[in-house]
Chain A
């Protein structure tokens, strides 16, 4: 999508919501932080739009290894500033942090992964 095509969308409504689509296969939960910013280093920009999602661990067997992935679609609230960012070029960055809160013994294997997509959904008024 070109910059010009976004510039043409002047009538973005205030109806703005986000959705995080996760395909998660780690034996322990995690915190996903998504940063949107005009800064080239969004994660370190204190003014970045910040969305946080908490993920539950994927199913594990008795040895603490994941057996399958868990897929989730998580609606998130997006701050109003997101709309401004959508009209201009910006940068996105995601940080995945595994908090130190687990007591159970788990085993990471090379089968484990995280697939993550985040969407912003808004309503565009046509001929309005």
Chain B
């Protein structure tokens, strides 16, 4: 306003001089503000610094700077799934044939006793079994070559009459001895066949186990309430992790090697080995591609291995898996060079 008043006063001064003087001349008077001839003024100059338009799609797909991740709103969703080792198909053999039998030296035709060794290694080939404790089921023995069984006992324990042995509370160790008393002699016995009926395992001890885990499926409905509206969007910088917790009743819990897990085709990192609880963080680029394929669920399958140190797994022990997906909402625009083009400044 001050500038405008100065200009107006100067113009009025010039006009009044022209109107009232005896001779109107066109040489400009001295500008009282500048001390030079001619008017002076100031003009506002607006210079564009930046002009950009960003869609929500840009917001999700543009370059992400992790330096600012802490304070940034993130789209997060997660879910939990748990399975117990009772749900795992252990694959113990149900029938073992033992060809090598020993006749007890004290045997007589009327009191004929044979001994057979039952090795745990013959029972399971998915690791090194050191002990198996049963809480149910039945073991039965049949003789190859004929004969009738009067009683059996395991590892010098309580003798049970007949050809069956209750497995409730029975523990097998690496090498076990079955003592079988025959009712009518045993000269024709060539071997024994051991069968497990509906065995219920309470715990297993050993190392280097391999379990094929039951498929865990995490529904992803919650992440896409606006799925139709987002279907054209492309996510970026997705963080996907799987937190795994071993929930066991004992103290001698195993080291978990989860490197052979398959989480919806993602590459499981080599760091997926831990005890108790651990987090598997997947490659962001792979996770981003997975999310952009708009899966309905994340599936965890594959093989769980235990370490080479002896441990005990109770079948009531459980493995809890919690997935977490994070999509940061941050945008760094492309660089814009400056000065900008003249069309923004028509008055220059």
* Pair B40/A110 contact, Cβ less than 8 Å: no
Residues of B within 8 A of A42 (CB): 335
Contact of B45 among A94, A118, A123 (CB under 8 A): A123
* Pair B55/A113 contact, Cβ less than 8 Å: yes
* Pair B226/A109 contact, Cβ less than 8 Å: yes
Q: Nearest chain-B residue to A105 (Cβ)?
A: B225
* Pair B46/A119 contact, Cβ less than 8 Å: yes
> Among the listed stretches B163-171, B173-181, B326-334, which one makes contact with chain A, having 4 or more residues with CB under 8 Å of it?
B326-334
Alpha-carbon distance between A9 and B348 when the two chains are bound, in angstroms = 11
Main SS at interface, chain B: mixed
* Pair B46/A125 contact, Cβ less than 8 Å: no
Alpha-carbon distance between A43 and B55 when the two chains are bound, in angstroms = 20
* Pair A110/B49 contact, Cβ less than 8 Å: no
Counting chain A residues whose Cβ lies within 8 A of the other chain, the interface size class is 35 or more
CB of A122 closer than 8 Å to a CB of B: yes
* Pair B331/A96 contact, Cβ less than 8 Å: yes
Central interface residue in B46, B50, B55, B59, by most chain A CB within 10 Å: B50
CB of B68 closer than 8 Å to a CB of A: yes
Residues of A within 8 A of B338 (CB): 36, 85, 89-92
Type the 1/0 row for B6-39, where 1 means its CB is closer than 8 Å to any CB of A: 0000000000000000000000000101101011
Q: In the complex, how many angstroms separate the beta carbon of A97 from the nearest chain B beta carbon?
A: 5
Type the 1/0 row for B292-334, where 1 means its CB is closer than 8 Å to any CB of A: 0000000000000000000000000000000000000111111
Residues of A within 8 A of B348 (CB): 1, 5
Alpha-carbon distance between A118 and B338 when the two chains are bound, in angstroms = 12
Residues of A within 8 A of B48 (CB): 117-119
Central interface residue in B34, B44, B47, B225, by most chain A CB within 10 Å: B47
Q: Nearest chain-B residue to A108 (Cβ)?
A: B56
Alpha-carbon distance between A117 and B340 when the two chains are bound, in angstroms = 12
Alpha-carbon distance between A26 and B34 when the two chains are bound, in angstroms = 51
* Pair B50/A34 contact, Cβ less than 8 Å: yes
Residues of A within 8 A of B57 (CB): 110
CB of B337 closer than 8 Å to a CB of A: yes
> Among the listed stretches B228-236, B269-277, B282-290, which one makes contact with chain A, having 4 or more residues with CB under 8 Å of it?
B228-236
* Pair A40/B335 contact, Cβ less than 8 Å: yes
Residues of B within 8 A of A34 (CB): 49-50
For chain B, residues 114 to 138, give those with C-beta under 8 angstroms from any C-beta of chain A.
Answer: none
Residues of B within 8 A of A115 (CB): 52-54
Contact of B333 among A95, A108, A113 (CB under 8 A): A95
Alpha-carbon distance between A1 and B50 when the two chains are bound, in angstroms = 14
Q: A36-B49, A110-B233 are in contact. Are A26 and B40 (CB under 8 A)?
A: no
Alpha-carbon distance between A122 and B46 when the two chains are bound, in angstroms = 7
* Pair B53/A127 contact, Cβ less than 8 Å: no
CB of A74 closer than 8 Å to a CB of B: no
* Pair A123/B333 contact, Cβ less than 8 Å: no
* Pair B49/A120 contact, Cβ less than 8 Å: yes
For chain A, residues 49 to 102, give those with C-beta under 8 angstroms from any C-beta of chain B.
Answer: 85-86, 89-102
CB of B249 closer than 8 Å to a CB of A: no
11 interchain pairs, CB-CB under 8 A? A91-B337, A91-B338, A95-B65, A100-B71, A108-B59, A109-B230, A110-B233, A116-B53, A117-B52, A119-B48, A120-B47
